[in-house]
Structure 1
């Protein structure tokens, strides 16, 4: 099969995406597919042209995720000016492939816009459709839609500005989790247990655009569940060696202990699996996703968010959950493509 893997782009999760894309490209090539890896933002700008991209070596630097998120202004400067978030030749390359494997994360990749563009081009792609992707990217809207289906921490969505910051600090009941309304990989996420920590978190929120979810802090175990092809995979428990499961702890080998299947009672496993499926279906997702929960000591799962294009890096969680049911990385990639092709036929 002729597959174009789209990665990179202008999201703060750019480096994670490049790592996902490199691993997917390598795995599918090893299984005999004709595969090209393309950066959504750079496109063919200064790169090998057209069909040569299908035999180009995969940069080793893509496979590792740096400890810090990228400087997007520096990324933009490397391509030069222009307002487009999509590089030259991208859509032409998409149209020439049998399927586009979306290894994108965050804005312009996971928020439904690229899915809508590919729908209009008539090009099949992996993962959920444009509407479900757009909903899932908005943490506030997702919570509003699923709050009567699953338990979720109390939350408030605010626009943080220099003028409103102090008032928010004074009236917010601690402890809370502060997170951008539309971001992933724990970028911009802070746990605030004091007014000083809250103020610092909100100051960072202003830098990220201001639209922010302030969420009740729930103490418990961090359990994540992947959904693949309409069923919940075995859950995985995340135990960071220090702090919480932030950007650095997610992508640096050894920074967190990941236990799969989770060592939890069967009834807890069923509860988180059922909750993941409820969220998945309520917001109209398809193919695969990963839902994040905090499970209290009483075994009550609190839904946090769902990711429609979860990471496929060497330390990512969905491949570990698939392995727990006997599916290796390459087979997982092929399965995602197969289910996606069926979903596109059904316009999901």
Structure 2
């Protein structure tokens, strides 16, 4: 039986726009190399019909909720259709920044001080208690939706007076927030492909942090691959990233974001189990440095299923 690939993109998460771009690039690459592939937006097509329409494999290019959180992976397991990327459990874990960091910390991996704030607790709790907890981290801090990607709803807070209205703004994106100590340093992102580390990318941005604007629209954000790290430091980074990837049982392909702080120590930020594949995305840049064209990369990811 010949293969029939469904490329899933779009969806209804807050990252829909990026997913549409990623998915179309993947679909075009598959079509150009002669693979029978069809692009599907789950908003317009009931996923339980994938088997009925003869799809033999799924290339997932849905970012965020409904794509990276294990729910889609559960549907595909139920349908017995192989798919790209990590499985149900690792997808569900890594979508949750707080749980991921808790596991990393338990394994002795480097993460900066943080705590989880739920909407329920925020409403019920006494503000002074929260304020003191935040001050223990020392300002500036980051406020991040706990289960979002693409830097949506992330805010950097420098002054104590701005804390509560910023928390309320961030709650628009999620009912659970990760409150984290701000790390001064240089940001790197490291791709993983089939248990191997891709060349790390150093990120330089003009904004106060690597936000949505800097990621997708700013033309003054710079990427360096090779990263300029010494061989020794690159080896150290590879070891940390691979261990961080393995302890949460991720598979196939993905990306881990890291900061090298001002004390020359790496600190883990988060995992992305379905990286962007747009023309601005970092994962294809790293693969290219490793000698893989976009077409090679897409085929390789597909063949890992």
TM-score of the aligned structures, taking structure 2 as reference length: 0.92
Q: Provide, for residues 50-98 of structure 1, a one-character-per-residue CA deviation record: whole Å limited to 9, x for no partner.
A: xxxxxxxxxxxxxxxxxxxxxxxxxxxxxxxxxxxxxx3x332355212
For structure 1, the residue ranges without an aligned partner over 5 or more in a row are 44-87, 341-348
Shift of 1:253: 5.6
Given the alignment, which residue of 221, 225, 235 partners 1:260? Answer: 225
* Equivalent residues of 2:11, 2:42 under 8 A apart: yes
Q: Which residue in 1 is equivalent to 2:238?
A: 273
| Superposed counterparts of 1:130-141, under 5 Å | 130-141=88-99
Shift of 1:195: 1.7
Given the alignment, which residue of 238, 241, 257 partners 2:206? Answer: 241
CA RMSD of aligned residues (A): 1.6
* Equivalent residues of 1:225, 1:233 under 8 A apart: yes
* Equivalent residues of 1:165, 1:203 under 8 A apart: no
Residues 272 and 140 (structure 1), Cα distance of their counterparts in 2 relative to 1, 3 Å cut: same
TM-score of the aligned structures, taking structure 1 as reference length: 0.81
Shift of 1:201: 2.2
* Equivalent residues of 2:155, 2:170 under 8 A apart: no
* Distance across 1 between alignment mates of 2:21 and 2:93: 25
Q: Which residue in 2 is equivalent to 1:91?
A: 48
State the secondary structure of the residue aligned to 1:302.
Answer: strand
* Equivalent residues of 1:112, 1:130 under 8 A apart: yes
Q: Provide, for residues 25-70 of structure 1, a one-character-per-residue CA deviation record: whole Å limited to 9, x for no partner.
A: 0111111111111111222xxxxxxxxxxxxxxxxxxxxxxxxxxx
State the secondary structure of the residue aligned to 1:207.
Answer: coil
Shift of 1:297: 3.3
Q: Which residue in 2 is equivalent to 1:39?
A: 41
Residues 267 and 201 (structure 1), Cα distance of their counterparts in 2 relative to 1, 3 Å cut: farther
* Distance across 1 between alignment mates of 2:151 and 2:23: 19
Q: Which residue in 1 is equivalent to 2:113?
A: 154
Shift of 1:151: 0.4
Q: For structure 1, which segment, 103-112 or 193-202, has the greater mean C-alpha deviation from structure 2 after superposition?
A: 193-202
For structure 2, the residue ranges without an aligned partner over 5 or more in a row are none
* Distance across 2 between alignment mates of 1:191 and 1:263: 27
Given the alignment, which residue of 74, 84, 101 partners 1:126? Answer: 84
